[in-house]
Amino acid sequence: MKVTSINIARISTPERLQLLLNYCVSNEFDVICLQEVAFSSCPILESRFQVFASTGPNKAGTAVLVSKTLKVQSHTCDPDGRLLCINLGPVSFVSLYAPSGRIFRDERSTFFRVIVPAFLSCVKEPIVLMGDFNAVDDRGDRLRKAGTTSSTTVACVGGFRGGIGAGGCMEGLTAP
């Protein structure tokens, strides 16, 4: 099974959505977790994938695209559109989009310390948690030259009974 996570930065034009679809199909992804999603349905993507999206009140939420060859057992999301879970039977995939920026520091802390653990406590394990964590490893990661983008997403795999600290982590893909 091939999985990825992509922050799509609210793309909504048919041309850009077609590029996203072409990228996902050409790489033969089975599960794609999306962040900064500005749509609740998308016929272009629905032509090849099952689309589960939750934009929430801020209109920039999460989505999970699932190959039409896979059977989705259940799906659930939080009311803010920042967490969306798809259960495929033997494994659950969670797309996460954390609050960002200095003004949302307290909100981000609450998100990771309270909201995420509460949400994951209701998710069938094992869990693959992917998305835009809006976090940096060190101060140097915050500094980017104009015209460049970050390329690190963290995917955590494992049980989360003790909070986010559990499980192994690996770097993943964020953009085509």
- Write out pLDDT tens, residues 59-114: 789 999 999 999 999 999 999 999 999 999 999 999 999 998 777 788 888 999 99
Q: What is the pLDDT of residues 117-130, one digit of tens each?
A: 999 999 999 999 99
A 10 A CB-CB count for 159 gives 11
Q: Which is higher by pLDDT, 144 or 4?
A: 4
Q: Which is higher by pLDDT, 88 or 146?
A: 88
Q: Which is higher by pLDDT, 146 or 83?
A: 83
A 10 A CB-CB count for 170 gives 10
Q: Does domain 3-136 have CATH number 3.40.50.720?
A: no
Q: What is the pLDDT of residues 28-39, one digit of tens each?
A: 999 999 999 998
Residue 147's pLDDT is what? 54
Structural domain spans, the chain: 3-136
107 annotated as ligand-binding = no
Mean pLDDT of the chain: 81
- Pair of tokens at residue 13: 């034009």
28 annotated as ligand-binding = no
When pLDDT is averaged across residues 17-46 and rounded to a whole number, the result is 94
171 annotated as ligand-binding = no
58 annotated as ligand-binding = no
Q: Is residue 118 exposed (0-12), middle (13-18) or buried (19+ Cβ within 10 Å)?
A: exposed
